[in-house]
Structure 1
């Protein structure tokens, strides 16, 4: 297929494996698709294009979550997404302004930060929600635009807050449902991404969908503590792999 010219069979196989794993993480945790997928893709393509493919994948899988969002999402997702949308252009500007090498390093560091922010002890100090929400929303919008990874920004707010796992997961899915298509549209308008990357995202989508189904199935079988530990462990492995390949 002409649209996939330049990708080797090994690269496509690696991308499909990453898409399956990314879908599983996302189905289990409610976020993490781009955290797994983008660091793998950006080792074989420009960071901006890897982010674009990740955002298209997020947009497609988010369409399957409408029922869960209506049923389970917390009301905090509405003001949260408004703040994140306002901050997204800053991340998109940074992605296009920085060099490819620096963007690769920073994207890998975002993967590491997702793990640290979710599982590292925060001490007794806990920010009140009216303060934590806008800070997390700004981080979510910036990281979504810069690395195609809104999850590390919203993860600490929903995973470490007083939210039930089902509500936290559905709330993050609601935020992805709004942010991802907007970012894809902005990338396309700026000329970042082409039909080649859209075809690649479409080919990866069945693997993402299969992994997402497995993740949702696993979510219904684990306790709250098991869910938190599994999410942190997957993010830790992803961060170590991304940093190890760069080093």
Structure 2
């Protein structure tokens, strides 16, 4: 089977290692997989090549973890996020296909850096945001999902609220699964879903399932704060490298 997107064997091995590490992060924390994989892809190829692939990956990982999260999902919050995302996703997809490769690298890298800064700031709210503010957050998340990065703005806002870790993680995973499923037809129409997208998914599947299983298994045993900060810092470094490549 030919390698997808014209990737070299070295670049393919590099991306498979990134998929494995990102799947561990996602299985553990509930977010970060798409942003990390897209950022790494931007170092060796057009980052837009990874967008449809990571959407399919997110759906697969949710099916793998569904049994363990079902009882913890805040479905009312998920519904409001999706309502806002219905407005934001078409805007994000249109914006992404309107820029060139370097423009996409710069825009994606700047967004990741901004969200990582917000996540690392450690600011906290005294109580949860309920109701329509979640729909407004969904709009922002939907726009970001044009680049398969809906998770970062939602994770940044939800992690600042007094939400139990199990509910935080399960709600993020459920939201991404529904959002990504609804986004695929728009991505297909925009030309972001190709035969190579499915070939890449087939190559990534073993690393994806192993990493997600390991991360989910470690969720109740590791130190969440330290692991999350390390993961966010890694995303920020990769985004900075992608930004440098896009600019230079």
Same fold at TM > 0.5: yes
Cα offset, 1:127, TM superposition: 8.2
Q: Which residue of 2 aligns with 1:129?
A: 130
Map 1:27-176 → 2, pairs under 5 A: 27-75=27-75, 76-122=77-123, 128-130=129-131, 132-145=133-146, 147-176=147-176
Where does the alignment leave 5 or more consecutive residues of structure 2 unmatched? none
CA distance in 1, matches of 2:40, 2:29: 19
Q: Is the contact between residue 19 and residue 204 of structure 2 (CA under 8 Å) also seen in structure 1?
A: yes
Could you say what the CA RMSD is over the residues aligned between the two structures, in angstroms?
Answer: 2.1
3-state SS of 2:44 partner: coil
Where does the alignment leave 5 or more consecutive residues of structure 1 unmatched? none
- For the structure 1 residues 5 and 35, does the alpha-carbon distance in structure 2 shift closer, same or farther, using more than 3 Å as the test? closer
Q: Which residue of 2 aligns with 1:233?
A: 230
- For the structure 1 residues 32 and 121, does the alpha-carbon distance in structure 2 shift closer, same or farther, using more than 3 Å as the test? closer
- For the structure 1 residues 185 and 3, does the alpha-carbon distance in structure 2 shift closer, same or farther, using more than 3 Å as the test? farther
Cα offset, 1:124, TM superposition: 7.1
Query: Any idea what the Cα deviations from partners look like across 1:71-117, whole Å, max 9, x if unmatched?
Result: 11113222222222331111111101122211101111222223212
3-state SS of 1:87 partner: helix
Cα offset, 1:204, TM superposition: 0.6
Query: Any idea what the Cα deviations from partners look like across 1:7-44, whole Å, max 9, x if unmatched?
Result: 21101110110000110110111011111111111333
Cα offset, 1:192, TM superposition: 2.0
Query: Any idea what the Cα deviations from partners look like across 1:92-148, whole Å, max 9, x if unmatched?
Result: 111011222111011112222232122214377878433541232111111112x11
- For the structure 1 residues 4 and 217, does the alpha-carbon distance in structure 2 shift closer, same or farther, using more than 3 Å as the test? same
Query: Any idea what the Cα deviations from partners look like across 1:210-239, whole Å, max 9, x if unmatched?
Result: 1111111111103xxx31332122111121
Q: Is the contact between residue 91 and residue 142 of structure 1 (CA under 8 Å) also seen in structure 2?
A: yes
CA distance in 1, matches of 2:242, 2:154: 26
Name the TM-score, length of structure 2 as normaliser. Answer: 0.89
